């Protein structure tokens, strides 16, 4: 990058690493997957076409994790991305309500699948249920994401139950992207339920397997499940079987694997949150996932100068519908977080 105008998407930072760079950029865990996910994988048994819907063993394991589900309610996909893409391709075309700031792919996924995104502005990083209720009236679906990338916030159980009811009464879908559901610091998760709910999840974040590309959707509405399978039959066929085997095995890891990870994430959260507060920045306290989204003056200049002069990668809030903010992922070890905070401190002092 030679010019600030090149700051168009997270892609500009791909491959920028080493040389003392501290990267608060990419949203992928740096922790190892459970050893179960790697050991005992026999590639040789994964060479022939599998079921489009996904391996029965994996769907069986998932049905045990979700109460009120059966193996037939799941479709295994190339990450949560494909699950979202297929869901919106399968729906009747129309508006979809999206809380803003949003995960940067959401508006694009909706547009590529022929849907029209409409927005409800978050209040302190959480859904404003009055605005949500007003805007959702003429939508085909709402897409929510709790814990949220990029805000790090978790919706209250009250809000989730209200969303569950409003969408049910309207007879529309609610698509709940829960890829960070195992990374909540503050309370138990509440899973919204009902035959109008489509839950999206992935093995990428919980089990640190981003590159393997295994995600899934589940819904008790077999019409939408069957429509998704029909589309996937032609557009990508079965999800890669080696990845599905790894996912089956990852789910055999003891619960302590997830608990230990959560402790590490919480420690990092405390350090980066307090560090940025001490630097005088205005930000919401993350309750889940691994992102902070502080307000800064001149976000574009900030991201540019932090990278060019201080060797620190941050993402522009504008990519996530948050034009007055920048996003930092804290998927890196504490020493690096502390060094990054020092450099951000120097930048704030010197500018």
Q: Could you tell me which residues come within 8 angstroms of residue 299 by beta carbon, excluding any fewer than 6 positions away?
A: 316, 317, 318, 323, 324, 325, 326
203: Cα within 13 Å, side-chain hemisphere: 29
Q: Which is nearer to its own copies, 112 or 308 (CB)?
A: 112
What residue ranges bind its own copies (CB under 8 A)? 11, 14-15, 26, 28, 33, 38, 41, 43-44, 46-52, 78-79, 81-82, 85, 89, 105, 108-109, 112, 114, 208-213, 231, 233-243, 246
Q: Could you tell me the smallest distance in angstroms from the CB atom of residue 280 to its own copies?
A: 33
Is the CB of 60 or the CB of 301 nearer to its own copies? 60
CB-based contact 260:153 (threshold 8 Å): no
CB 331 within 8 A of CB 27: yes
283-308: burial string, b at 16+ Cβ within 10 Å, e else: bbebbbbbbbbbebeebbebbbbbbe
Instruction: Give the nearest distance from C-beta 104 to its own copies in angstroms.
Output: 8
Please, which residue, 89 or 153, has the CB nearer to its own copies? 89
Measured between alpha carbons, how far is residue 29 from residues 147, 250, 261, 333 in Å? Answer: 15, 15, 10, 10
Q: Which is nearer to its own copies, 79 or 317 (CB)?
A: 79
Rounded Cα gap, residues 9 and 69, in angstroms? 38
Are the C-beta atoms of 73 and 296 separated by less than 8 Å? no
Which residue, 141 or 341, is less far from its own copies as judged by CB? 141
Question: Which residue number, 227 or 295, has a Cβ lying nearer to its own copies?
Answer: 227
Least distance in angstroms from the C-beta of 235 to its own copies: 4
CA distance 121 to 71: 36
**CA–CA separation, 175 vs 118, rounded Å?**
15
HEC string for 289-331? CCEECCECCCHHHHHHHHHHHHCEECEEHHHHCCCCEEEEECC
CB of 347 to its own copies, least distance (A): 27
Beta carbon of residue 338, minimum distance to its own copies (angstroms, whole number): 23
Q: Residue 53 CB, nearest distance to its own copies (Å)?
A: 10
Q: Residue 234 or residue 255: which is nearer to its own copies going by CB?
A: 234
CB of 237 to its own copies, least distance (A): 5
């Amino acid at each position: 990058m030679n010019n600030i105008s090149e700051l168009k998407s997270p892609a500009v930072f791909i491959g920028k690493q080493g040389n003392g760079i501290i990267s608060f950029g990419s949203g992928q865990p740096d922790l190892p997957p459970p050893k179960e996910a790697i050991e005992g994988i026999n590639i040789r048994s994964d060479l022939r076409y599998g079921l489009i819907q996904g391996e029965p063993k994996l769907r069986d394991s998932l049905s045990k994790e979700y109460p009120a589900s059966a193996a037939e309610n799941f479709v295994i996909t190339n990450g949560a991305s494909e699950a979202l893409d297929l869901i919106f391709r399968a729906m009747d075309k129309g508006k979809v309500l999206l809380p803003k700031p949003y995960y940067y792919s959401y508006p694009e996924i909706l547009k590529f699948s022929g849907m029209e995104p409409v927005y409800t502005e978050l209040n302190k990083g959480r859904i404003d249920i009055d605005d949500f209720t007003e805007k959702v009236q003429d939508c085909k679906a709402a897409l929510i994401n709790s814990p949220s990338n990029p805000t790090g916030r978790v919706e209250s159980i009250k809000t989730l139950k209200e969303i569950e009811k409003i969408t049910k009464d309207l007879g529309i879908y609610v698509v709940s992207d829960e890829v960070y559901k195992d990374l909540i610091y503050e309370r138990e998760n509440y899973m919204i339920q009902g035959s109008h709910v489509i839950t999206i999840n992935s093995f990428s974040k919980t089990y640190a397997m981003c590159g393997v590309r295994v995600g899934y959707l589940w819904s008790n509405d077999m019409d939408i499940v069957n429509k998704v399978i029909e589309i996937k039959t032609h557009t990508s066929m079965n999800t890669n079987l080696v990845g599905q085997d790894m996912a089956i095995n990852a789910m055999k890891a003891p619960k302590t694997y997830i608990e230990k990870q959560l402790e590490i994430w919480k420690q990092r959260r405390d350090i980066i949150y307090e560090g940025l507060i001490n630097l005088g920045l205005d930000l919401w306290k993350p309750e889940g996932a691994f992102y902070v989204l502080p307000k800064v003056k001149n976000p574009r200049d900030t991201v540019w100068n932090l990278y060019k002069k201080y060797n620190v990668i941050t993402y522009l809030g504008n990519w996530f519908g948050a034009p007055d903010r920048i996003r930092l992922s804290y998927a890196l070890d504490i020493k690096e977080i502390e060094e990054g905070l020092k450099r951000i401190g120097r930048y704030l002092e010197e500018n």
